[in-house]
Chain A
Amino acid sequence: MTRSAVTALLPLIILALTSIAVMLAIAVRRSHRAAVIISLAGLVAAFVSLWPASSVAPVPIMSLLIIDRYALVYMGVVLAASTALILLSHTYLAARSEHKEEFYLLLLLATTGSMALAASSHMVSVFLSLELLSISLYALIAYPRSEPLALEAGIKYLVLAASSSAFLLFGFAVMFVAEGNMDFRPVSATVTAGTTPLAYLAGVVLVITGIGFKLAVVPFHLWTPDVYQGAPLPVTAFVATVSKGGVFAFLLRWLQWRSADDKALVIILTILAIASMLAGNLLALRQTNIKRLLAYSSIAHMGYFLVAVIAGGSLGRAAATYYFAAYVVTILGAFGCLLALSDSNREAESFDDIRGLFWRSPVLASVFTAMLLSLAGIPLTAGFLGKFYVFTAGTSAATWALITILIVSSTIGLVYYLRIIVAMFSELERGESTSSRTTPGVLAELSLAVLTLALFVLGVYPGPLWHAIRTAAAF
């Protein structure tokens, strides 16, 4: 292995070593504090090592991985998200009695999987990193073993994720038969536009099924509401952000390598995007549980993301990536607020938990409002610029049907975001007890503040990040 390869792999290596360190630390002595410190140190070190890695990029690691700036951007977002997540959920976990140290171990492993997925260029590496991510998630979702809802969610995710992996694997096999190559890179593209053998098409459909499940686009979304609701809040936030990041990166790369004028693929993705945007937003309207509501909203957001993916080209890729970064900041902030509101016995997830929040703790309510407005795509927030880039990408590719659906469905979406905001600003009935809440803790407050700042910076001053993404996405 050459020196540059090691440098390029540093983020992955550091994170893998960190998870081993956490495991060893648990074996020596259980200490929540130690687990948190080691994980945070590892995540920060991995984040810092992105810069040396980017100085040598792009570096192909055999035919398995390719570490280029594009992969590094995704790794950066995923690492930052995991760091924020640990800071946000630290107090939440501390208040719970079960073993909490393994949570960090699993979190680090899943993050590693997501990062490796962003850099994968070969069927084997894609499958391995996806499984690393999924298997850690099974355990994470069912982490509170005493709660039936979490167990149900865990089992549901296990069954569906395993079968979707099977679809993916079968799709890979079929494509291997059609093309005789397991490498995704364009050198191997023997299928030219116009000639579409049935086997190849079947392979594509199967792979899209597998990916669609991970991204939770309609009609592969059925697990989402239950898992979002049943999983503990930090894990729900993880599922919404980190676990999707790697899959995003892979999807964009794969489409690029598959050549953009692949008609069948575009039609399939368009149907998925339209169905996700409409179904996600319409189903979210009827929800009374905020975690479920955010689950449906995430389905709709995957639809928006697909609009940029379908637009393709380096503009579409950059727009999709920016959208993802903005979405991560926003959804982490939203779940962070719910985490801050949860007490040691139960999570804040119903409308009653947040009713009149603005008059109880105005700062937290304002932060949550900002996050919701960003999800709705109101200017000055990251979500708006993300949507603007998606708009621009879609419009320059002249995908008018998608743009129209995007407009209609995001207006529908506004209704339920406003419902949450209305609940926060409605009058609190006298005598209602709201004092049982614990304080979110300094670390959580700090990371919420950083997320809020990031929300507005990304919404007002997109220059640096957009520039980084744009250069990275021009592969």
Chain B
Amino acid sequence: MVLLWLVLIPLIGGILCLTAGRGNARAPRWIAIAAISLDLMLTATLWAGTPGSGWWRQFDRSWIPEFGIRFHLALDGFSLSLLLLTFFLGLMSILASWNEITERVAFFHFNLLWVLAGIAGVFLSVDLFLFYLFWELMLVPMYFLIGIWGHGRKIYAAIKFFLFTQISGLLMLAAIVALAILYQQKSGSYSFELDALRNLPLSPGAGRILMLGFFAAFAVKLPAIPFHTWLPDAHTEAPTAGSVVLAGLLLKTGAYGLIRFVLPLFPDAAGEFAPAMMALGVAGVLYGAFMAVAQSDLKRLIAYTSVSHMGFVLIGIFAGNPTALTGAFIQMISHGISTGALFIIAGALQQRMHTREIARMGGLWQTVPALSGAAFFFIMASVGLPGLGDFVGEFLVLLGTFQTHAVVATLATVGIIVATLYGLRLTAKVFQGPNSRDWVLPDLFPREWVVAVCMMAGLLWLGLYPQSFIDMFKAVVQQPVQAASSVDLARR
């Protein structure tokens, strides 16, 4: 039951925002904070509760019995950690948009809460139909967030984002339906349950095609090259909260889908495609990093670093090695925090300076020392400084991958070197040097202090005590990887 509430609370909160928000700009913000804090606390109590094996908590009701569709939510350590991230970043993005959003505040928070509800639903559903439903549900409010409160070419960015996700989502739907029908041909009744479909024997051909259907959806969200072109536009034009949710959470749903569905449902096909997938991952790491070096727009730069970091996740998922998979998982969480934080910094700068052009900045450390210090911290996290979250993730991915695919790991390491380049270039151009344009800006407000400190704490926790999250992921690591790596061994 508590799982249902995790999804319902933001939905109800969103409607409350709309009704309470007529002419009152403060009420929706506080309602949103209350709803998300409540969810965060619920998730935290679940964490403190009984971490058993299998599904920790379930909520299972029949929904469309003719097709065996169930309203089935289930929670394990993997989904729990992503839920924690979801509500944490949700809270941060509400705080970060406190001063930025002044128009149509109620509708903004309605959309934000509904996106978060959709994301929570994605992380919880283990019925494929329900999963698809939430998958699409998070699109519409996100579309509004970009399209109404965005900057510049917001309509273009919003529509591009929607179309990319929609076409790939429909491919996934076709694959889901095909799976259910194959199941029906074997067993006589339809089922969309992950646990039922997991044991469905598939012919190699069918497995390959269906896996690609799922992969299309997840690769667009991840994003993997060459499906990434929506990302720079959407991230750049979105308002701060939109960028945080996009980079911090929506990208993670792609990685989550790969680990939760693709690996267990299609172990053979996943093993077969692993080299190609890892090649895509390496391409993403390098391309994203090189593109980031060349950007002149602050948010675009951060957007391309996302492509690079998510490339590591893709490598880790398909490396067929428990260490690498764990690394991918840690990278998902810590990239969510570090990139989210960078977008919040970029948003704060944009609000103060009304520009995102790196060329127009410089020497900001003199006028906003605290903000610059925070920015430097998050840049270092993103570059992979030991002691912070991203380092653990990338290190584990490289360590695991090196054992199975040394070339891939070596090439991906180049990405980290380039990351240092863009990180230092960013620091030097924006924050260091002379303040030649004589910027005089207000430093961090107390509210922004809270956000920055919380996110720093999160990164330090992940960097210094990653074991607390690795433990939650342990159960998931075992089943899919065994299958994938056994195929891998058989191929040698």
Q: Which residues of B have CB within 8 Å of A463?
A: 64-66
Q: Which residues of B have CB within 8 Å of A466?
A: 64, 66
Option from A379, A392, A418 in Cβ contact (under 8 Å) with B162: A418
Min CB gap B73→A, angstroms: 16
CA distance A68 to B147 in the complex (A): 49
Interface residues of B in 174-198 (CB under 8 A from A): 174, 177-178, 180-181, 184
Option from B129, B136, B159, B170 in Cβ contact (under 8 Å) with A407: B170
The answer to whether B174 touches A407 (Cβ under 8 A) is yes
The answer to whether A403 touches B66 (Cβ under 8 A) is no
- Counting chain A residues whose Cβ lies within 8 A of the other chain, the interface size class is 20 to 34
7 sample A-B contacts, Cβ–Cβ < 8 Å, listed by A number: A378-B136, A378-B140, A395-B174, A395-B181, A411-B163, A418-B159, A463-B65
**Taking the complex as formed, is A410 at the interface, i.e. its CB lies under 8 A from any CB of chain B?**
yes
Option from B104, B167, B173 in Cβ contact (under 8 Å) with A388: B173
The answer to whether B171 touches A414 (Cβ under 8 A) is no
The number of residues on chain B lying at the interface, defined by a beta carbon within 8 Å of a beta carbon of chain A, is 32
CA distance A467 to B158 in the complex (A): 38
The answer to whether B166 touches A414 (Cβ under 8 A) is yes
**Taking the complex as formed, is B8 at the interface, i.e. its CB lies under 8 A from any CB of chain A?**
no
Q: Which residues of B have CB within 8 Å of A408?
A: 167
Q: Which residues of A have CB within 8 Å of B167?
A: 407-408, 411
The answer to whether B147 touches A425 (Cβ under 8 A) is yes
The answer to whether B178 touches A407 (Cβ under 8 A) is no
**Taking the complex as formed, is B399 at the interface, i.e. its CB lies under 8 A from any CB of chain A?**
no
The answer to whether B174 touches A391 (Cβ under 8 A) is yes
State the total of A-B contacts with C-beta under 8 angstroms.
Answer: 62
**What are the interface flags for B140-174 relative to A under an 8 Å C-beta threshold, 1 for contact and 0 otherwise?**
10011001100000010011001100110011011
Interchain residue pairs A-B with the least CB separation, the first 4: A411-B167, A407-B170, A379-B133, A379-B136
The answer to whether B66 touches A395 (Cβ under 8 A) is no
**Taking the complex as formed, is B132 at the interface, i.e. its CB lies under 8 A from any CB of chain A?**
yes
- The interface residues of chain A, by DSSP majority, are classed as helix
Min CB gap B139→A, angstroms: 8
CA distance A425 to B173 in the complex (A): 29
Q: Which residues of A have CB within 8 Å of B143?
A: 418
Which of A392, A408, A462: most chain B Cβ within 10 A?
Answer: A392
Q: Which residues of A have CB within 8 Å of B158?
A: 422
Q: Which residues of B have CB within 8 Å of A462?
A: 64
CA distance A422 to B143 in the complex (A): 10
Q: Which residues of A have CB within 8 Å of B358?
A: none
Option from A380, A403, A410 in Cβ contact (under 8 Å) with B137: A380
**Taking the complex as formed, is B5 at the interface, i.e. its CB lies under 8 A from any CB of chain A?**
no
Interface residues of A in 422-440 (CB under 8 A from B): 422, 425
CA distance A167 to B64 in the complex (A): 43
Q: Given the known inter-chain contacts A379-B132, A425-B147, please indicate yes or no for A407 contacting B177, CB distance below 8 A.
A: no
Q: Which residues of A have CB within 8 Å of B64?
A: 462-463, 466
CA distance A388 to B159 in the complex (A): 23
**Taking the complex as formed, is B67 at the interface, i.e. its CB lies under 8 A from any CB of chain A?**
yes
**Taking the complex as formed, is A396 at the interface, i.e. its CB lies under 8 A from any CB of chain B?**
yes
